[in-house]
Amino acid sequence: MNAATSITQAPVADVELKQLNEATAQRESATNNPNDSSSIDERPIHSALSESQRSALLAVASFAAAISPASTTTYYPAITTLARDLDVSITQINLSISVYQIFQGLAPTVAAALSDRYGRRPVYLGCLFINIAANLGLARQENYTSLMVLRCLQSSSSSGTVALGQAVMDDLVTSEERGKYMAYLTLGLVMGPALGPLIGGLLSQYLGWRAIFWFLMILGGFFFVLTFTFFRETNRSIVGDGSVPPPKWNRSLVQILRKDKLVPNRESLQKKRIGVNPLASVQILCNKENFIVCMYGALLFGGYASVISIFATQLEERYGYSQVQVGLCYLPFGVGSILSRWTAGKMIDWNFKREAEKQGLKIVKNRQQDLSQYDIEKARLTISFPMIFATCGFVVAYGWLMQYNTHVASVLVIVFLIANVFTGVLIANSALLNDLNPGNGAALGAAMNLTRCLMGAGGVAAVTPLINKIGIGYTATATAGVWLAVLPALYVVYSKGYTWRKAALRSSAQGRGEGSRVASPSP
């Protein structure tokens, strides 16, 4: 390598630093001169698909993602019946829930890596097909060992759809609309836990617990047909902004039968990833900001999963409810979560735009913003903190209302409020992580799923013995206490996260510059 080559490589870091400083200057200029024509955003659109098309794709992704939590919660009303028929204890059946959640956390790392390489659509279809087979086996199994093994397979196949949902979100949606669309995606994740117990209760009481797995098999088959027929590929390395046709084998039935009218924009194609890296989600967690936000979200999710899991048995023991009545009592969870689309979702998007105006970031619809010079942590977490405090208060109230066997109406109002504010926290948490990791939706989805499911598995396994020892009131109080005790870690992200990102960017640019100088041999 000659001296000219060395000189060419060495300034790379200087160029990156110059670009960073120019971005800062442009931001300050936009703040001081908001009407300056030079601040007009000339970047291409993020997605060539219409808003209705994007909403439809996210709806399919949301419903497909609902299979994973639904496979858990349809199980809850049948816990007592399953334990009796398989001649095992309720603790052993609860262990099957914990094992399910462990595999639910681990499996998406593989699904995410495959979808980054080969596309979202084929991985969706593969996950759904395996899920159909697993439910067929569960409907016909006769012993506890078979139940455990097949539940692991069921979990591994269904949970991949959760990570894929985050990837589709990242492919289609820009930061300023993330609150609204994230609510659509989150809807499936919370509707599964909400409607699952109702459906499971009806099926278990009138047709037996095997009917639950027959139902899940039919549901998986329906989503398989829906995905095969309507769901188009969204991976930006394959279809770009959605206008580039995918390979024929990766087209939906609708695309095959009806010619797409979009003009291909091949400049929107992102670089195709080489190989399959299932550890990409672990690498995301190696970043301290990602780690803190993911782990706090997982801690909240673990407590919420515990609340949902013991709700059925508490209603049976304290109020003498039937399986159908128990299932109906889960409806407030679903209604509260659905309404978060119009409460938390709108607040999150409104606050993003408000903070953008304060910081001089110009918002252009359907244009992905450069957030490297934007304190996104304040935009997202300003909304999160009050909702976290509200969640803590409602969970404590829930525990003590149950402890004293108050009228069930008061309990149902509280679980509605818990679901509404918790879903809001989940939306803000997920939106922040997506903003911090643009272009890594699949791996990020797997990372979030990994931490949430492992924490949820621990919470579900521990909650019943803890209630037996200290009562549900003190258990709920302890859960909220843990959330509040760890909250300062999230405040550190709120106050220091933006500084960390700027320092990391400068350090990375300088490091590459020094590396190129050292690597260049003398002439």
- DSSP line for 378-433: HHHHHHHHHHHHHHHHHHHHHHHHHHTT--HHHHHHHHHHHHHHHHHHHHHHHHHH
* pLDDT given for residue 307 in this prediction: 82
Q: Is the pLDDT of residue 390 over 90?
A: yes
The tens digit of pLDDT for each residue in 8-55 reads 333 334 434 444 454 444 444 444 444 443 344 455 677 888 888 888
Q: Is the pLDDT of residue 446 over 90?
A: no
Give just the sign of the alpha carbon dihedral 516, 517, 518, 520: positive
Q: Vertex 385, ends 384 and 387: CA angle to 5°?
A: 70
Q: Is the pLDDT of residue 227 over 80?
A: yes
Mean pLDDT over 357-375 rounds to 71
Q: What contacts 311, CB < 8 A, 6 or more positions away? A: 76, 197, 326, 329, 330, 415
In angstroms, rounded to a whole number, what is the distance separating the alpha carbons of residues 66 and 88?
29
* pLDDT given for residue 27 in this prediction: 44
Region of poorest pLDDT, from 170-174, 306-310, 442-446: 306-310
Q: Is the pLDDT of residue 409 over 80?
A: yes
296-332 burial code (b ≥16 CB/10 A, e <16): bbbbbbbbbbbbbbbbbbbbbebeebebbbbbbbbbb
Distance, C-alpha 363 to centroid of its chain? 25
In angstroms, rounded to a whole number, what is the distance separating the alpha carbons of residues 301 and 312?
18
Residue 258 inside a domain? The answer is no
In angstroms, rounded to a whole number, what is the distance separating the alpha carbons of residues 156 and 104?
6
The tens digit of pLDDT for each residue in 494-513 reads 999 889 988 887 876 666 55
Q: What is the 8-class DSSP label of residue 209?
A: T
* pLDDT given for residue 23 in this prediction: 44
Secondary structure element (H or E) that encloses residue 217, with its range: helix 210-230
Q: Is the pLDDT of residue 294 over 60?
A: yes
The tens digit of pLDDT for each residue in 454-498 reads 887 788 778 888 999 999 999 999 999 999 999 999 999 999 988
In angstroms, rounded to a whole number, what is the distance separating the alpha carbons of residues 337 and 329?
14
Residue 513 inside a domain? The answer is no
In angstroms, rounded to a whole number, what is the distance separating the alpha carbons of residues 38 and 33?
10
Q: Scanning the structure block, which residue is given the tokens 């643009």?
A: 438
Residue 369 inside a domain? The answer is yes
Region of poorest pLDDT, from 16-20, 106-110, 257-261, 325-329: 16-20
Q: Is the pLDDT of residue 336 over 50?
A: yes
Q: How many residues does the chain have?
A: 523
Residue 162 contacts residue 192 (beta carbons within 8 Å): no
Residue 435 contacts residue 178 (beta carbons within 8 Å): yes
Q: Is the pLDDT of residue 391 over 90?
A: yes
Residue 426 inside a domain? The answer is yes
Position 56 confidence tier, pLDDT thresholds 50, 70, 90: confident
To the nearest 10 degrees (0 to 180), the angle between helices 178-207 and 331-339 is 170
Residue 119 contacts residue 250 (beta carbons within 8 Å): yes
To the nearest 10 degrees (0 to 180), the angle between helices 344-359 and 178-207 is 160
Residue 468 inside a domain? The answer is yes
* pLDDT given for residue 479 in this prediction: 94
Residue 275 three-state SS: coil
* pLDDT given for residue 476 in this prediction: 94
Residue 55 inside a domain? The answer is yes
Residue 376: CATH number of its domain = 1.20.1250.20
The structure's pTM equals 0.77
The tens digit of pLDDT for each residue in 157-216 reads 988 888 888 889 888 888 777 777 777 777 777 677 667 777 888 888 889 889 999 999
Q: What is the 8-class DSSP label of residue 40?
A: -
Q: What contacts 370, CB < 8 A, 6 or more positions away? A: 23
Mean pLDDT, rounded, of the chain: 82
Torsion of CA 100, 101, 107, 111, to 10 degrees: 110
Top pLDDT among 44 and 408 is at 408
* pLDDT given for residue 25 in this prediction: 47
Structural domain count, the chain: 1
Q: Is the pLDDT of residue 282 over 70?
A: yes
Residue 39 inside a domain? The answer is no
Considering just the CA atoms, what is the radius of gyration of the chain in Å? 24
Residue 4 inside a domain? The answer is no
Residue 301 structural domain: 51-237+278-502
Top pLDDT among 42 and 140 is at 140
Residue 68 contacts residue 158 (beta carbons within 8 Å): yes
Q: What percent of the chain clears pLDDT 90, i.e. is strictly above it?
A: 30
251-266 burial code (b ≥16 CB/10 A, e <16): bbeebeeeeeeeebbe
Q: Which of 22-26, 401-405, 448-452 has the highest average model confidence (pLDDT)?
A: 401-405
Position 296 confidence tier, pLDDT thresholds 50, 70, 90: very high
